[in-house]
Chain A
Amino acid sequence: MDGYVLLGNEAVALGALHAGVSLAYGYPGTPSTEIIEYMQQVIEPKSGVRAQWCSNEKTAYEAAVGASAMNRRVLVTMKHVGLNVAADPFMNSAIMNIKGGVVLAVADDPGMHSSQNEQDSRFYADFAKLPCFEPHNQQEAYEMTRAAFDLSERFHVPVLLRLVTRLSHSRAIVRPNPSRDANPMVKFTGKDDFITLPATSRKRYAEHLELYKRLRAYAESETVNPLKPGDTDAPFSVITSGLGHNYFEENAEDLGFSPSVLHVNFYPLPEEKIRTLAAGSKRILCIEEGYPFIERLLRGILPVSVTVSGKLDGSLPPSGELNPDIVRTALKLPEPSSKVEDGHRNLAPLPGRPPQLCKGCPHRDTFKALNTALETYENHLVTGDIGCYTLGYLPPFEAIETGLCMGASITMARGAAQAGMYPVVAVIGDSTFMHSGLTGLADAVSSSVPITILILDNSTTAMTGGQDTIFESKGIRKVVLGLGVEPEHCVEMVPLPTKHEENSDLLRREIEYKGVSVVFAFRECIQTAKRKHTKEAKA
C-alpha cells in the first residue's frame, strides 16, 4: 500500500509540504487545528520549514502575506469564524500582486459540531473575488492544496481552500505525488505590489477585475469542474459541490436513471457549463453543504423556465450538515425498508449527554469560587468568552451569561458597566486573552470602568486539544501591567477545592474595587498535565 491513512486536515498539511511550502501560520480552531499540528509533527527540525501558531488569525494571515512578498510559499489555517478576524488583511490581499503562493485553508463547520455559527467561507472568496477550491475527499484535499499553490503563483492572488468538519475529521487513504522544492527567498520588485494607498489600490483593483475574467475562464476547464452528461430524458440534472457529491453518489444507483451531473470543485462558478447543463433540463437540483451559495447564483445565470431546487425551496434543509438520508429525500427516493423495528418501538426518549468540564478541571473550582463571591449581590453580570470555560454557562455552574466571539467578554463587560451595570465580571482564557482580549483591556483601562477580569490561565489552548500558547504561563501578567492595570489589582489565585474560601474572598475584594481589576486563576489544564505526566513516566 503506497499511501497514508490521513485525516482531511492531515492531507492538506501533507499537500502543502509536498508543494514546497516554507511556512505555515494559524490559530487553533476546531475543525482546522490538525493541519498545523500534523506539520509540526512531521517537519524535520533542520529543514528550515516552519509551522507556527500565532496570536490570532489576523496576525497569522498578515505574516503569510509577508512571507509571500519574499517569494516563499505559505499556508495559513483557521476555522470559518477565524476568517472574520482575518477579514481585513484577507480582503486587501486580494488586490496585491502575490509573489510566493498563499493558500488559506479554512474549515467550515456545518452542523456546528464545535462552533458559534455556520457561516460559509465560499462567500468570503466571492466577496474578495478570489478563487476557491472545495475538495470532497482526502485525496482531493491533498491534490487541491498543491494545485492551489500553483494557481496562486500563476494568477498572483491568494487562494482559498474550503474544508468542512466531516472532511477535516475523517480518515481515508491518501496516495501522494513526488514533492516539489521550496521557493528561494527573493524580495518582490513591483513598487505597488504590496501597498494599498487609494491611488495604487484603484489601479490594482481594475487589474483584479480583469484577472477575475481569466479565473472564470479557468473554471470552465473540464479537469477543474467536470460535467458528466446523463440520460437525455432524465427528469432533473444535478449540481454538486463538496461532500454533497458523496451523498449523491451513495444514492445515485437507486434512481433508476442517470441525471447529468456538474460537480463544482472550483469557484468562481463555471457559468457556461451551468448553461450547458441547464439546456437539457427543466429542473436542476443543487446539492451543496453550507449556505445555498451556488443555488443563489444559479438564479442569476439561468432562465426562469428552469426550476432550481435546493435549500431555498426546501428540497434540502437550510441549516446543518448534509448526510446520505437528507440527500436521499431530496432525490425523492423512498426510505430504505430495512430499518430495524424490534425493540426500538418501546424506547422512551433518551436523555441528552452534553459535553462538560473534565473531572478535576481548574475551571470548576474557579466557577465555584466566582459563584460564591457573587452570592451577596442581588443582580450581577458575568460575561463569558470562547473556550472550554464556555461550558460554565451550563449546569451545574451556570456561572457565565454571554458568549459573543473571541475577546468579547472584556469589551462586553466594558459596555455593560458603562450602561450602568454593577458588578460585572469578564471571564476569559489565557489563549483567548492573547488572541483578542488585549485590545479590549486597553479600552477598559483607558475608560477606568469598574469591571473585574478573570483570566483563566491553564497554560494551554485547551478547547482545541492543548496547543501551546504563544506566551508561557504568567508571562501575560507583564502585558496586563504594561497596559496600565494597577499592580495591587492584578492578583493571582490557584483554583483548588482546598482554597475555595480564600479564592472567593479574593474575588469579592476585587469585585468591590471600582476600577479595572484583573484576577489570574493559575492552574494547568488537567488534560495537558496528564499527558505531560504520561510522557515523563515513559522517559
Chain B
Amino acid sequence: MKYDIILCGVGGQGVLSVAAIIARAAMMSGLEVRQSEVHGMAQRGGAVEADLRISDGPIPGDLIAKGRADMILSMEPLESLRYVDFLSEKGSVVTSDHCEINIPDYPEKQAIFSSISSFGRALTIPADALALTAGSARSANMVLVGAASFHLPIEFSTMEEAVRERFASKGELIIETNLKALSLGRNFAEAGSRRRSG
C-alpha cells in the first residue's frame, strides 16, 4: 500500500501544519512517511506545495511522480488546479472553497469551480463556514483534514488522536473545537460521496 498526497495552498495558510497532522497520524498507524516542505521566502504569500508520501513499505524519494498522486489536498481552489498533472486516474481533489485573491490576474471564480467539478472525484468544501459552525474560523484546516481523512488509509480515531496531540498545549476548548471541525469535514466528505453514488 502506498498513498501519495500533494498538499497545496498559499504561503501562510498552514499547508505544513496540515501535512504534519496527517503525517503524525500515519506514523501512529505504523506507516512509513516522507514529507517535503517549503521554507524561507517562498512561503510568503506565494504558491506553496508539499509532498506527503505514506506507505507500508520503504519510500525511496521525497517527490511524487506525475500521474501518481492519490490526492490533491488544497487550501485554495486555484492552487488545487496547479498540480492536476500529478493526479492519478483514480485520485481525488479535496479543496477549500475559500479564494485567496492576492494577485491581480486571479481568474473568474466560477471558471475555477467548474474546472474543479469536472474532475469526477473532486470535493469543494465550505471550510470556513464549517469551521465557524465548529466554533472558530481558525479551524478551517481541520475541516479539510477531516474531509481528506475519508480517503486516507488511516483510522478516523487515529486522526482524532493526532489532532488532540497537536492542540494539547492549547487547552480543552481549542481541542474540542478542532475535533468538531474534523468531524464536520469528515461528514461533508461522506455525504458528498453518497450524493455521487446515489
- Top 10 A-B residue pairs of the complex, sorted by shortest distance between their CB atoms: A343-B118, A30-B40, A355-B46, A246-B61, A339-B67, A324-B65, A249-B60, A170-B62, A353-B47, A114-B40
| B66 on the A face (CB < 8 A) | yes
| B39 on the A face (CB < 8 A) | yes
Q: In the bound complex, do residue B39 and residue A339 qualify as a contact, i.e. CB atoms below 8 Å apart?
A: no
Q: Given the complex, which residues of A lie within 8 Å of B10, measured CB to CB?
A: 353
Q: Given the complex, which residues of B lie within 8 Å of A353, measured CB to CB?
A: 10, 45-47, 78-79, 102-103
Q: In the bound complex, do residue B66 and residue A339 qualify as a contact, i.e. CB atoms below 8 Å apart?
A: yes
Flag the segment in B105-113, B133-141, B173-181 that touches A. Answer: B105-113
| B81 on the A face (CB < 8 A) | yes
Q: In the bound complex, do residue B78 and residue A350 qualify as a contact, i.e. CB atoms below 8 Å apart?
A: yes
Flag the segment in B86-94, B124-132, B142-150, B187-195 that touches A. Answer: B86-94
Number of interface residues of B (CB under 8 A): 55
Q: In the bound complex, do residue A335 and residue B62 qualify as a contact, i.e. CB atoms below 8 Å apart?
A: no
Q: In the bound complex, do residue A328 and residue B91 qualify as a contact, i.e. CB atoms below 8 Å apart?
A: no
Min C-beta distance of B168 to chain A, whole Å:
14
Q: In the bound complex, do residue B61 and residue A250 qualify as a contact, i.e. CB atoms below 8 Å apart?
A: yes
Query: CB < 8 Å: which of A33, A243, A246 contacts B39?
Result: A33
Min C-beta distance of B52 to chain A, whole Å:
9
Q: Given the complex, which residues of B lie within 8 Å of A346, measured CB to CB?
A: 115, 118
Query: CB < 8 Å: which of A1, A245, A463 contacts B41?
Result: A463
Min C-beta distance of A356 to chain B, whole Å:
4
Bound-state Cα–Cα, A106 to B105, Å: 38
Bound-state Cα–Cα, A1 to B30, Å: 8
11 inter-chain pairs at a CB distance below 8 angstroms, sorted by A residue, are: A5-B27, A113-B40, A169-B36, A171-B23, A249-B60, A336-B67, A338-B67, A339-B88, A343-B118, A347-B84, A388-B41
Bound-state Cα–Cα, A337 to B90, Å: 12
Interface string of B1-35 (1 = CB under 8 A from A): 00000000011100000000001000100001111
Q: Given the complex, which residues of B lie within 8 Å of A167, measured CB to CB?
A: 62
Q: How many pairs, one residue from A and one from B, have CB atoms within 8 Å of each other in the complex?
A: 161
Query: CB < 8 Å: which of A336, A340, A347, A358 contacts B45?
Result: A358
Residue of A346, A351, A355, A391 contacting most chain B CB atoms (<10 Å): A355
Bound-state Cα–Cα, A5 to B105, Å: 39
| B43 on the A face (CB < 8 A) | yes
| A357 on the B face (CB < 8 A) | yes
Bound-state Cα–Cα, A346 to B118, Å: 9
| A7 on the B face (CB < 8 A) | yes
Query: CB < 8 Å: which of B43, B66, B102, B103 contacts A325?
Result: B66
| A535 on the B face (CB < 8 A) | no
Q: In the bound complex, do residue A166 and residue B36 qualify as a contact, i.e. CB atoms below 8 Å apart?
A: yes
Q: In the bound complex, do residue A250 and residue B34 qualify as a contact, i.e. CB atoms below 8 Å apart?
A: no
Bound-state Cα–Cα, A31 to B116, Å: 34
Q: Given the complex, which residues of A lie within 8 Å of B161, measured CB to CB?
A: none
Min C-beta distance of A78 to chain B, whole Å:
14
Min C-beta distance of B158 to chain A, whole Å:
14
Q: In the bound complex, do residue A465 and residue B103 qualify as a contact, i.e. CB atoms below 8 Å apart?
A: no
Residue of B11, B23, B63 contacting most chain A CB atoms (<10 Å): B63
| A298 on the B face (CB < 8 A) | no
Bound-state Cα–Cα, A63 to B161, Å: 46
Q: In the bound complex, do residue A166 and residue B45 qualify as a contact, i.e. CB atoms below 8 Å apart?
A: no
Q: In the bound complex, do residue B40 and residue A243 qualify as a contact, i.e. CB atoms below 8 Å apart?
A: no
Bound-state Cα–Cα, A464 to B41, Å: 7
Interface string of A243-263 (1 = CB under 8 A from B): 101110110000000000000
Bound-state Cα–Cα, A351 to B27, Å: 36
Bound-state Cα–Cα, A347 to B114, Å: 10
Q: In the bound complex, do residue B39 and residue A30 qualify as a contact, i.e. CB atoms below 8 Å apart?
A: yes
Min C-beta distance of A324 to chain B, whole Å:
4
Q: In the bound complex, do residue B81 and residue A347 qualify as a contact, i.e. CB atoms below 8 Å apart?
A: yes
